[in-house]
Amino acid sequence: MSLLSINGLQAGYGPRRVLQGVDLTIGDGQILVVLGANGAGKTTLLRAISGTIPRAGTITFDGKRIDQLSARKVVAAGIAHVPQGRGTFADLTVDENIRLGAYLRNAADAKRNRERWLTFFPRLRERLAQQAGSLSGGEQQMLAITRALMLQPRLLLLDEPSLGLAPIITRGLVDVLAAIRKETAMTMLIVEQNANLALAIADDGMVLESGNVVLRDTAANLVGNDEVRRIYLGYE
């Protein structure tokens, strides 16, 4: 059964249509990686799903239509979005940022929930009182992800979590995402330039080109696909 099913999704900015009618499905508990050149519409796809931009078409999540819902209601339905560029509040502490993610919960719930997610990110636990703006890039990304996890989503949308991070930090982050999926069966839609690392933990991948899905296959098949290897995985 698909957790998320999208048909004919169109979205853009003002008169500019970016997504040209995207169809995609993600099975419950699966990780799907979205590949595509700069400007292909990857960020726009995540925004359209999370309802942060206007969209047309049908989006069914857990058996219910969500394409008419406000961004806030999409979150309440169980979808959390970690936007490109992270969006943590630099002047707030790590703990305050994490607590912002818990706005839908009561305090006891939030505390239990925070402890649960911090087991995946021990570095953040050591830095709860530190200002978010003074964290390293990798720590800020962990914080953004933790804040999203505090919403207890069933589907996590991640937009280029490795942006600006050193390869070794990226690998650590991707490994944590894999561990979270293994332990919680959380479904993930990940936009990632570092396609080698992302496909290694994914079930499926798809390629977006000028707002259209041009390829969808298992991660293993994509890694073995000559064209994908040349364009997205950096093999000659």
Question: Which residues make up the interface to ligand ATP (CB under 6 A)?
Answer: 13, 16, 18, 36, 38-44, 84
User: What are the start-end ranges of the H helices in the chain?
Assistant: 42-50, 71-77, 94-100, 107-118, 122-125, 137-149, 167-184, 195-201, 219-223, 226-232
Binding region for Mg ion (CB under 5 A) out of 58-66, 79-87, 146-154, 167-175: 79-87
Which CB atom, from 94 or from 208, has the smaller least distance to Mg ion?
208
Binding region for Mg ion (CB under 5 A) out of 81-89, 103-111, 122-130, 150-158: 81-89
Q: Does 97 bind Mg ion (CB under 5 A)?
A: no
Q: Which DSSP helix (H) or strand (E) runs through 1? A: none
Q: For residue 44, what are the CA distances in angstroms to 79, 83, 195, 221, 232?
A: 16, 11, 19, 26, 19
Which CB atom, from 9 or from 150, has the smaller least distance to Mg ion?
9
d(CA 92, CA 98): 10
Which CB atom, from 41 or from 101, has the smaller least distance to ligand ATP?
41
Q: How far is the CB of 162 from Mg ion (least distance, A)?
A: 12
Which CB atom, from 39 or from 167, has the smaller least distance to ligand ATP?
39
Which CB atom, from 43 or from 162, has the smaller least distance to Mg ion?
43
Binding region for Mg ion (CB under 5 A) out of 80-88, 149-157, 180-188, 206-214: 80-88
Q: Which of 9, 31, 43, 203 binds Mg ion (CB under 5 A)?
A: 43
Q: Does 50 bind Mg ion (CB under 5 A)?
A: no
Torsion of CA 151, 43, 46, 56, to 10 degrees: 140
DSSP for 42-108 reads: HHHHHHHHHTSS-EEEEEEETTEE-TTS-HHHHHHHTEEEE-TT----TTSBHHHHHHHTTTTS-HH
Per partner kind, with CB cut-offs from 5 to 8 A, the member of ligand ATP, Mg ion, none near residue 51 is: none
Which CB atom, from 38 or from 106, has the smaller least distance to ligand ATP?
38
Q: How far is the CB of 41 from Mg ion (least distance, A)?
A: 8
d(CA 161, CA 163): 6
Pairing of strands 187-191, 31-35: parallel
Q: How far is the CB of 65 from ligand ATP (least distance, A)?
A: 23
Residues forming the site for Mg ion (CB under 5 A): 42-43, 84
